[in-house]
Structure 1
Amino acid sequence: MKITGYTDENFQQAFEGQPYTVMINPDTIKWQRGIDYNEQQAPNTSTPSQKYKSTPVEKLNFDITIDCTGVVDSKRTDLAKEISTLENIVYTYHGKIHRPNFVKVQWGKSLVFKGVLKSMDISYTLFKPDGSPLRAKLSLGFTQYISPEDEEQLKGNESPDITHLVSVVEGNTLPQLCQKTWNDNSYYIQVAQYNNLNKFRNLKGGQKLIFPPIIQPE
């Protein structure tokens, strides 16, 4: 596993020096993903429907062991140096960018995670007779980072955060047009209010309606 620092949010400008190569690959990796929903009670129904709200950022958590006894790697026996090198990549505040680095965690070809460090816990587990640590377990937690440019691309043109100009075809209703535009028909009241409409059905063919950015409830 390699951990690389980047000084830009697009992960193009690598931080000075080499990526940190983990001495012993983690036994397990926890990659968290989730979806948030608004529970909305539809008329004449007994159970709420799950309306999509947002997709939270992903999280990556794993433990690594740094063993400086010389058994794992006879050239890497300075535990303080190992931890300092890793900290400089993922944790240390850098004045040039006014923040810690952006980080890419990569293990093989299939596991690539781009984010920022959220937590770093160090447990020292083996010591020399004089008390100097020889081995440490590091628990690392990363949160996904998506640049503003990438976030706009992910939203796409069907996002309710974008203004749309919609041409009405004879027989269209506002719920139908909301469903077609946003894949969600629940915004028809906001659209009607914005366009000063008093009828949701039997719209006039050929008229133009503005579908404004929608403020979603928290």
Structure 2
Amino acid sequence: MASLELMKITGYTDEEFQNKFSENPYAFMINPDNIKIQKGIEYNEQQAPATSSASQKYKSTPSDKLNFEIVIDCTGIVDPKRIDMAKEITALETIIYTYNGKIHRPNFVKIQWGQNITFNGVLNSIDISYTLFKPDGSPLRAKISLSFSQYISPKTVTMTDGPESPDLTHIVNVTGGMSLPQLCLKTWDDDSLYIQVAKFNNLNKFRNLDGINKLIFPPLSNTN
């Protein structure tokens, strides 16, 4: 008989999910009954002249959302070794919620359940409801609602999108000796957009880009 695989959450201190916050992930005591994954697409509605209805122009694909509820049971029935509710909540929050001063933000997190579910993301919200108490008022059981957004590093986004797409934001590496018009020509095949890119990045120069490693090239619709 196969052993029970518990869902676990691991914290990471880098956006590429290479450096673990701790070697010990947080393993849930009881797996969730269901998991909700939300995907969506955003559009700008544009109405062409002499038409009665608006057309939808692709705007962006927001990050996926992952939502589920878990139960922490410290009655000793589920796991006789895990009966300290405060310890359980602190261990979970330290990985997914608490501000990490070394990276100046909460950790990035990887949610894993067996071989089929892996989700790299960041916490959106945590909602804790205590549902069972000792006579002295200390909680024995908690229902926790968790919401995460998928996180993909800017480097990965750029590689996935492809630098030729005009409707997506790009993070462009500045190559030594290249001017802003040349970068616009390389990225969009149009060197006339350098003024808009300079304004978007608050640049007061466009030929000598020494000291600048990366620039944000917004969607062409945002540069007009």
Q: Tell me the TM-score range normalised by the shorter chain.
A: 0.7 to 0.9
Q: Which residue of 1 aligns with 2:100?
A: 94
1:29 alignment partner AA: I
Query: How far did residue 110 of structure 1 move?
Result: 2.1
Structure 1, residues 135-172: CA drift from partner, whole Å, max 9, x if none? Answer: 1111111112111101111211331157456xxxxxxx
Q: Which residue of 2 aligns with 1:132?
A: 138
Q: Which runs of 5+ in 1 are unaligned?
A: 166-180, 183-190, 195-211
Q: Which residue of 1 aligns with 2:221?
A: 216
Does residue 13 in structure 1 map to residue 24 in structure 2? no
State which drifts further: 21-30 or 40-49: 40-49
Structure 1, residues 15-36: CA drift from partner, whole Å, max 9, x if none? Answer: 1241011111111111111001
Structure 1, residues 105-145: CA drift from partner, whole Å, max 9, x if none? Answer: 11122221111111111111111111111111111111121
RMSD after superposition: 2.5
Query: How far did residue 72 of structure 1 move?
Result: 0.8
- CA distance in 1 between counterparts of 2:141 and 2:219 reads 54
Aligned partner of residue 113 in structure 1, secondary structure: strand
Q: How many residues align?
A: 178
- CA distance in 2 between counterparts of 1:75 and 1:118 reads 30
Aligned partner of residue 64 in structure 1, secondary structure: strand
Q: Which residue of 2 aligns with 1:81?
A: 87
Q: 2:163 aligns with which of 149, 157, 160?
A: 157
2:84 alignment partner AA: D
TM-score by length of 2: 0.72
Q: 2:72 aligns with which of 66, 75, 99?
A: 66
- CA distance in 2 between counterparts of 1:142 and 1:155 reads 23
- CA distance in 1 between counterparts of 2:76 and 2:67 reads 27
- CA distance in 2 between counterparts of 1:26 and 1:159 reads 39
- CA distance in 2 between counterparts of 1:47 and 1:68 reads 58
Q: How does 1:28-39 map to 2 (within 5 A)?
A: 28-39=34-45
Q: Which residue of 2 aligns with 1:53?
A: 59
Aligned partner of residue 216 in structure 1, secondary structure: helix
- Residues 106 and 213 of structure 1: is their aligned pair in 2 closer, same or farther, counting only changes over 3 Å? closer
Answer yes or no: is the 8 Å Cα contact 1:53–1:216 preserved in 2: no
- CA distance in 1 between counterparts of 2:56 and 2:110 reads 34
Query: How far did residue 47 of structure 1 move?
Result: 2.3
Q: Which residue of 2 aligns with 1:116?
A: 122
Does residue 105 in structure 1 map to residue 111 in structure 2? yes
- CA distance in 2 between counterparts of 1:73 and 1:89 reads 21
Max radius of gyration: which structure? 1
Q: 1:27 aligns with which of 33, 56, 62?
A: 33
Answer yes or no: is the 8 Å Cα contact 1:124–1:133 preserved in 2: yes
2:66 alignment partner AA: L
Aligned partner of residue 105 in structure 2, secondary structure: coil
- CA distance in 2 between counterparts of 1:132 and 1:83 reads 13
